[in-house]
């Protein structure tokens, strides 16, 4: 059997080990992708910690995969070897549960997660269910497409489903891996885009990314800053700090919405009185493969690009440490 290089976690809390594995063979309704790049995501910490429902070790992490199909299994009709494709967090669905029957594949009762339910993209090859695959447009190179398949799709999809309309005021809380894409998408979708972060030094970057306004939480609360601008229709919360997220609720207009794409471990405390004008706090769960495909196409069309730092596959541990220390600007990408 041919072999490939891969990086795996073999025990809870263990480090990323470079190993040799057999190249996997695609089964029915699966495709094999020759990986050209795989983004690193904060959620890969679940694999490193060995803690996620359904996760078994050893596991190859990675759910921001970009590459080219090189083999297809039986019953795959729409994908052919040579197609440029990517795979994100949503790694397939059953087509039979009640959620699938109403077309809500993201909430499939047996939904699979790439790099958690099955081996992911920190490898030279990966096998995935064919329904999890998204086409990558020619304008995007693989290293750039990778992060768009999780950080990109999540912010793109949360924004376009938020109910905000062109001209509405949309604030993006945090300018990190998710936020730097959220700002680009929000401004290109036609929203009056406000970036929220701490420190005067971030304003230049925020405006470069497309923000029309900047709220500096080192100078005053997010709520005050947003109210001075007339209040936000939507706040996209991208930095996982419960207090920072809660502090944006009073910056909403009546009936405004905070949409969470970041997940702080601590509960978010919100006063009921803040919500009685019809405001709400909601979450958004990534996207399916067609959502990913649309996020990639929109990015190619409007010039949205992830800012990335490239690492070799064998540098996964180093890249992860740097990411967890918040020193990667803005997404780490592994190239095999
Ligand atoms: Zn992710
Ligand atoms: Zn299902």
For the stretch 175-190, pLDDT in tens is 999 999 999 999 999 9
Mean predicted confidence (pLDDT) in 137-157: 97
Structure tokens at 216: 């500096």
Task: Give me ligand 1 centre to Cα 114, in Å.
Answer: 10
pLDDT greater than 90 at residue 120: yes
∠ CA 22-117-52, rounded to 5°: 125
pLDDT greater than 90 at residue 310: yes
Q: What is the pLDDT of residue 263?
A: 85
User: Are 295 and 154 a contacting pair, CB within 8 Å?
Assistant: no
Q: What is the pLDDT of residue 27?
A: 98
pLDDT greater than 90 at residue 72: yes
Structure tokens at 218: 């080192």
Q: What is the pLDDT of residue 285?
A: 87
Mean predicted confidence (pLDDT) in 32-56: 95
For residue 90, which ligand has an atom nearest its CA? Answer: 1
Task: Give me ligand 1 centre to Cα 123, in Å.
Answer: 17
For residue 129, which ligand has an atom nearest its CA? Answer: 2
Total residue length of the chain: 336
Q: What would be the CATH architecture of the domain defined by 3-149+286-335?
A: Alpha-Beta Complex (3.90)
User: Are 167 and 190 a contacting pair, CB within 8 Å?
Assistant: yes
Percent of the chain, pLDDT > 70?
Answer: 100
Q: What is the pLDDT of residue 235?
A: 98
| In the chain, ranges of CATH 3.40.50.720 domains | 162-283
User: Are 159 and 185 a contacting pair, CB within 8 Å?
Assistant: yes
Task: Give me ligand 2 centre to Cα 56, in Å.
Answer: 21
Mean predicted confidence (pLDDT) in 162-181: 97
Count the Cβ atoms, other than its own, within 10 Å of residue 240. 18
Mean predicted confidence (pLDDT) in 305-326: 96
| In the chain, ranges of CATH 3.90.180.10 domains | 3-149+286-335
Task: Give me ligand 2 centre to Cα 55, in Å.
Answer: 18
Task: Give me ligand 2 centre to Cα 63, in Å.
Answer: 20
pLDDT greater than 90 at residue 134: yes
For residue 97, which ligand has an atom nearest its CA? Answer: 2
User: Are 260 and 196 a contacting pair, CB within 8 Å?
Assistant: no
Q: What is the pTM of this model?
A: 0.95
225-240: per-residue pLDDT in tens?
A: 999 999 999 999 999 8
User: Are 128 and 33 a contacting pair, CB within 8 Å?
Assistant: yes
| Distance, CA of 20 to CA of 14 (rounded, Å) | 17
pLDDT greater than 90 at residue 45: yes
Q: What is the pLDDT of residue 4?
A: 98
Q: What is the pLDDT of residue 248?
A: 97
253-285: per-residue pLDDT in tens?
A: 999 999 999 888 899 999 999 999 999 999 998
Mean predicted confidence (pLDDT) in 133-154: 97
* Topology, domain 162-283: Rossmann fold (3.40.50)
Task: Give me ligand 2 centre to Cα 129, in Å.
Answer: 13
User: Are 35 and 126 a contacting pair, CB within 8 Å?
Assistant: yes
Structure tokens at 325: 């220390």
Neighbours of ion ligand 1 (CB under 5 A): 41, 43, 150
Q: What is the pLDDT of residue 1?
A: 80
């Amino acid at each position: 059997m041919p072999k490939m290089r891969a990086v795996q976690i073999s025990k809870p809390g263990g480090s990323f080990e470079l190993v040799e594995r057999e190249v996997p063979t695609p089964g029915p309704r699966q495709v094999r992708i020759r990986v050209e790049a795989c983004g690193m995501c904060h959620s890969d910490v679940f694999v490193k910690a060995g803690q996620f429902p359904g996760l078994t070790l050893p596991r190859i992490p990675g759910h921001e995969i970009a590459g080219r199909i090189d083999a297809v299994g039986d019953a795959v009709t729409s994908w052919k070897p040579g197609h440029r494709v990517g795979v994100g967090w949503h790694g397939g669905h059953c087509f039979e549960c009640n959620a699938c029957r109403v077309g809500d594949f993201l909430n499939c009762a047996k939904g699979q997660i790439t790099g958690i339910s099955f081996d992911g993209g920190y490898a030279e090859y990966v096998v995935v269910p064919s329904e999890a695959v998204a086409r990558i447009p020619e304008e995007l190179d693989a290293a750039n497409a990778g992060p768009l398949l999780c950080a990109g799709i999540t912010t793109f999809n949360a924004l376009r489903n938020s109910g905000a309309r062109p001209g509405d005021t949309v604030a993006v809380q945090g300018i990190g891996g998710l936020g730097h894409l959220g700002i680009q998408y929000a401004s290109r979708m036609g929203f009056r885009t406000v970036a929220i972060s701490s420190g005067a030094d971030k304003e230049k970057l925020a405006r470069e990314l497309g923000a029309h306004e900047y709220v500096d939480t080192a100078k005053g609360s997010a709520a005050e800053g947003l109210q001075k601008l007339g209040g936000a229709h939507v706040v996209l919360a991208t930095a996982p700090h419960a207090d920072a997220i809660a502090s944006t609720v009073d910056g909403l207009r009546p009936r405004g919405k905070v949409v969470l794409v970041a997940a702080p471990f601590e509960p978010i405390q919100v006063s009921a009185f803040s919500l009685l004008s019809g405001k709400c706090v909601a979450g958004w769960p990534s996207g399916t493969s067609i959502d990913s495909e649309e996020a990639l196409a929109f990015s190619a069309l409007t010039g949205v690009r992830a800012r990335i730092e490239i690492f070799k596959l064998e540098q996964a541990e180093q890249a992860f440490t740097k990411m967890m220390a918040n020193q990667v600007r803005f997404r780490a990408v592994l190239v095999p």
